[in-house]
């Protein structure tokens, strides 16, 4: 049976009537970060977290924690309070609050007790009590006795922490602490400086992806002439009127890329057929996110020109693949990281992003990809589609360096070679931990793409076998996650 453990470690402050812990209702903060609470993934679990307004017992916010894959190193998804509390002559502590807690059978609220010698803290023991699964908001109230080692100290410290170890989720709100003893002071409240630690919350239900149809004005710029020839694809070769067609470059849906074919179609299609007739066209796919209903609207607003471009290249006996430019949708969503913090998992450093749309191994990435093409086709629903080669050519050309893909690579390598020592021995690498197993593009940070490319070439010469293994992983990973789309 899957299980998660919730730890609440508390360290207390001065005035018996004080509301403890500070910001126990998570109302103060910014975006998905709650003031005086810090969340993170510790020692390798996969999961997400964040302050959320989707569910709250009272007020506007609660806090959400989720573990999607347990750590092999006994790690956890954790939420820590950054204010410590001090009390004296404590006989017990009562913890209460409201929660919704997954399907787990074994849950616990735990308090850790400390003493401080100057800046040094020493743990004095723990006290815990169980919680039960709850499908709706459920109140808990637990009186926890002080461990023997802590009883010997007149003054003791407490600090809250919530942990999830195994796949499950937790919403929690309105945490309260009652001290059976004398509350003295809070430590760290003034030093926090109002800072918050921004975590990651799961998408919290699907992001709604919508499309905008072309306006009547935009539709006027369609080229309605259909190619006066038959196109077929046989054994990977495109034939026009039974003759093979020359494969060249990429036709772009959004940004006007001219990969390889500019000398053929630039003057005729771009300058005369499009620019002079429609000079104010936006050259980017428009993606707008509505925070109220969590909907992303994708607008392919200059595809009238792209349709003309693709057909013109066909007429000139040139076959192209069609580049939808779907990375623009992720770029749009990155503006809303507070509302959709899961977008951080798609982040790539400058100079490493290439044009890989997004990670198909992630449900949101896969949905964005499918919906983008679905709405693109809707623009041409009264047309025959002369797009025999599609975005997947770009998927093979570009490499994804999202955290999702890199973690999948680490898992693949350890499953295949069993140990870090064996990996280092076979590939002559010097990885110190599993988290160091990355493609060479991630070994060093660069601000310029050409610096990165030079570095990659050098490393491939030194570690060719490791490069081949990365390419083999991409082949397997790509097939597994992209083929179903």
DSSP summary character for residue 226: P
Domains of the chain: 29-192 (2.60.120.260), 203-397 (no CATH), 399-485 (no CATH)
In this structure, are residues 113 and 123 in contact, taking their beta carbons and an 8 Å threshold?
Answer: yes
Task: Select from 312, 306, 295, 142 the least CA-distant residue to 225.
Answer: 312
**Which residues, other chains included, contact 358 with Cβ-Cβ below 8 Å and sequence gap of 6+?**
326, 327, 329, 330, 346, 365, 368, 369, 400, 402
Rg value, the chain, Cα: 28
Q: What is the pLDDT of residue 53?
A: 84
Sign (positive or negative) of CA dihedral 271, 276, 278, 280: positive
Residue 308, sorted as left (phi over 0), alpha (psi -120 to 50) or beta, turns out to be alpha
pLDDT by residue for the chain (485 residues), tens only, comes to: 444 444 444 433 334 445 899 999 999 887 778 888 888 887 777 778 889 888 899 988 999 888 877 777 777 788 888 887 889 988 889 989 999 886 655 567 788 888 887 767 788 888 887 778 888 899 989 898 888 888 888 899 888 888 777 778 888 999 999 999 888 888 865 433 233 333 333 333 456 777 666 666 655 555 445 555 566 767 766 677 787 765 544 444 434 444 333 333 333 344 334 433 444 444 445 666 776 677 777 665 555 555 555 555 555 555 555 555 555 566 666 666 666 666 666 655 444 444 455 677 777 777 777 777 776 666 655 455 445 444 554 555 556 777 788 889 999 999 999 999 999 999 999 999 998 999 998 898 777 777 888 999 999 999 999 999 999 998 888 778 877 77
- Residue 83, preceding peptide bond in cis (omega within 30° of 0): no
| β-pair partners for 97 | 140
Q: How many CB atoms lie within 10 A of CB 148?
A: 9
Q: What is the pLDDT of residue 162?
A: 82
């Amino acid at each position: 049976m899957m299980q998660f453990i919730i730890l609440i470690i508390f360290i207390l402050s001065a005035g018996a009537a004080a509301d403890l812990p500070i910001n126990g209702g998570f109302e103060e903060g910014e975006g998905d970060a709650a003031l005086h609470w810090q969340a993170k993934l510790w020692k390798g679990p996969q999961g997400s977290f964040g302050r959320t307004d989707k569910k709250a017992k009272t007020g506007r916010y609660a806090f959400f924690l989720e573990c999607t894959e347990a750590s092999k190193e006994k790690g956890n998804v954790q939420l820590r309070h950054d204010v410590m509390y001090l009390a004296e002559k404590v006989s017990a502590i009562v913890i209460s609050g409201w929660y919704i807690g997954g399907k787990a059978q074994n849950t616990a609220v735990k308090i850790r007790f400390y003493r401080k010698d100057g800046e040094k803290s020493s743990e004095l023991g723990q006290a815990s009590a169980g919680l039960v699964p709850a499908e709706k908001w459920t109140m808990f109230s637990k009186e926890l006795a002080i461990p023997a080692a802590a009883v010997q100290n007149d003054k003791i410290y407490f600090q809250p922490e919530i942990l999830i170890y195994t796949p499950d989720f937790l919403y929690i709100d309105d945490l309260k602490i009652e001290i059976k003893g004398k509350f003295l002071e809070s430590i760290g409240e003034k030093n926090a400086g109002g800072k918050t630690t921004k975590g990651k919350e799961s998408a919290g239900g699907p992001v709604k992806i919508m499309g905008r149809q072309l306006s009547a004005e935009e539709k006027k710029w369609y080229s309605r002439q259909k190619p006066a020839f038959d196109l077929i694809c046989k054994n990977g070769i495109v034939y026009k009127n039974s003759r093979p067609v020359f494969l060249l470059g990429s036709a772009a849906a959004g940004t006007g890329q001219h990969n390889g074919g500019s000398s053929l179609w630039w003057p005729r299609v771009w300058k005369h057929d499009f620019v002079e007739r429609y000079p104010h066209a936006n050259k980017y796919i428009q993606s707008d996110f509505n925070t109220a209903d969590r909907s992303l609207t994708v607008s392919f607003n200059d595809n009238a020109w792209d349709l003309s471009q693709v057909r013109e290249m066909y007429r000139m006996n040139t076959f192209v693949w069609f580049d939808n430019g779907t990375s623009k949708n992720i770029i749009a969503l990155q503006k809303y990281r507070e509302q959709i913090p899961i977008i951080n998992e798609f982040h790539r450093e400058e100079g490493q992003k290439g044009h890989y749309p997004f990670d198909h191994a992630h449900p949101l990435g896969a949905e964005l990809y499918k919906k983008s093409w679905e709405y693109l086709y809707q623009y041409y629903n009264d047309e025959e589609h002369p797009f025999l080669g599609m975005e997947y050519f770009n998927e093979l050309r570009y490499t994804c360096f999202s955290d999702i893909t890199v973690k999948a690579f680490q898992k693949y390598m350890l499953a295949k070679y069993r140990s870090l020592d064996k990996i280092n021995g076979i590939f002559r690498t010097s990885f110190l931990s599993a988290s160091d197993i990355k493609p060479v593009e991630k070994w060093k940070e660069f601000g310029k793409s050409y610096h990165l490319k030079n570095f990659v070439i050098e490393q491939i010469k030194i570690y060719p076998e490791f490069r081949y293994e990365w390419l083999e992983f991409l082949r397997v990973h790509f097939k597994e996650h992209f083929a179903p789309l």
